[in-house]
A and B are shown apart, each in its own frame.
Chain A
Amino acid sequence: MTQNSYTDSNIRWIYPLPAILFVALLMVFPVLYTTYISLTNWTLTSGTAPSFIGLSNYGQVLLEPRFLQALWRTFVFTFSAVAVEAVLGVAAALLLNRVFVGRSVVKLLLLLPLVATPVAVGIVFNLFYDPTIGLANYVLESLGLPGSSWISHADTVLFSLVLVDVWQWTPMITLIVLAGLASLSDEPAEAARIDGANEWQIIRLITLPMVMPVIVTAVILRLIDALKTFDIIFAMTGGGPGYASETLNLIGYKYSFEYFRMGQAAVILMVLFLIVLACSVAITRLGKRIER
Chain B
Amino acid sequence: MKTTLKLGLAMAVTMGLSGAALAQTKEIRVLLANHPYGEVLKAAIPQFEQQSGIKVNVESLQESQLTTKLTTEFATNSSSVDVFMTRPLQDGKLFAKNKWYEPLGGYDFSDYPANTVSIVTYDGQPNIVPLVTEWQVLFYRKDLLEAAGLKVPTNFDELTAAAEKLNTGGLAGFASRGKGAAAVTQLSTFVYNFGGNYLDKGVAVFDSKEAVDGIRYYGKLVGSYGPRGVTSMSWENILPLFQAGRIAMWTDASVFYGQLTDPAKSSLGADKIGIANVPAGPKANSPFYVTSWGIAMASQSKKKDLAKTFLEWATSKELAAKAMEANITMARTSVWEDKAVTAKVDPGLVETRAFVAKNGNPSDRPFMSAVGEARDLIGEIIIESINTKGESPQIDQMAKDRAVKVNTLLRDTGEYGQ
Contact = CB atoms under 8 A, between A and B. Distances in A.
Q: In the complex they form, do A and B come into direct contact, defined as C-beta atoms under 8 angstroms apart?
A: yes
Interface of A: 43-47, 130-133, 147, 149-154, 237, 240-243, 257-260
A243 B380 contact: yes
B61 interface: no
Nearest to B382: A242
Could you tell me the dominant secondary structure of chain B's interface residues?
helix
B104 interface: no
Contact of A45 (B98, B229, B376, B383): B98
B127 to A, nearest CB: 16
A154 B413 contact: no
A114 to B, nearest CB: 28
A217 B41 CA distance: 57
Nearest to B233: A152
Given A132-B229, A154-B387, A44 B71 contact: yes
B232 interface: yes
Given A152-B233, A153-B231, A237-B232, A47 B75 contact: yes
Given A44-B71, A45-B75, A47-B75, A259 B372 contact: yes
A151 B232 CA distance: 8
B170 to A, nearest CB: 9
Interface of B: 68, 71-72, 75-76, 94, 97-99, 178-180, 227-233, 241, 244, 246, 369-370, 372-373, 376, 379-380, 383-384, 387, 412-413
9 contacts: A45-B369, A132-B228, A132-B229, A132-B246, A152-B228, A154-B387, A242-B180, A259-B370, A259-B372
A260 B76 CA distance: 12
Contacts of A130: 229
Nearest to A254: B376
A149 B370 contact: no
Nearest to B170: A132
Nearest to B380: A242
A154 B383 contact: yes
A56 B288 CA distance: 40
Contacts of A257: 68
A149 to B, nearest CB: 5
Given A43-B412, A260-B71, 11 more contacts: A44-B76, A47-B98, A132-B227, A132-B246, A240-B232, A241-B179, A241-B180, A241-B383, A242-B180, A242-B231, A259-B373
Contacts of A47: 75, 97-99
Nearest to B247: A132
Contact of A149 (B72, B94, B228, B376): B228
Contacts of A44: 71-72, 75-76
Contacts of B412: 43
Contact of B180 (A131, A132, A240, A258): A240
A237 B68 CA distance: 20
B288 to A, nearest CB: 23
Contacts of B178: 241
Contacts of B228: 131-132, 147, 149, 152
Given A47-B97, A47-B98, A259-B373, A152 B229 contact: yes
Interface centre among B75, B229, B412 (most CB of A within 10 A): B229
A242 B241 contact: no
A149 B380 contact: no
- 4 closest A-B pairs by beta carbon, nearest first, are A152-B229, A131-B229, A131-B228, A152-B232
A270 B407 CA distance: 28
Nearest to B94: A45
Contact of A132 (B72, B98, B241): B241
A241 B381 CA distance: 11
Contacts of A151: 229, 232
Chain A CB within 10 Å, residue with most, of B230, B231, B379: B231
Contacts of B372: 258-259
A96 to B, nearest CB: 36
A153 B227 contact: no
B300 to A, nearest CB: 13
A241 B180 CA distance: 7
Contacts of B97: 47
A254 to B, nearest CB: 8
B75 A153 contact: no
Residue from B94, B244, B372, B376 whose CB has the most chain A CB atoms within 10 Å: B376
B387 A240 contact: no
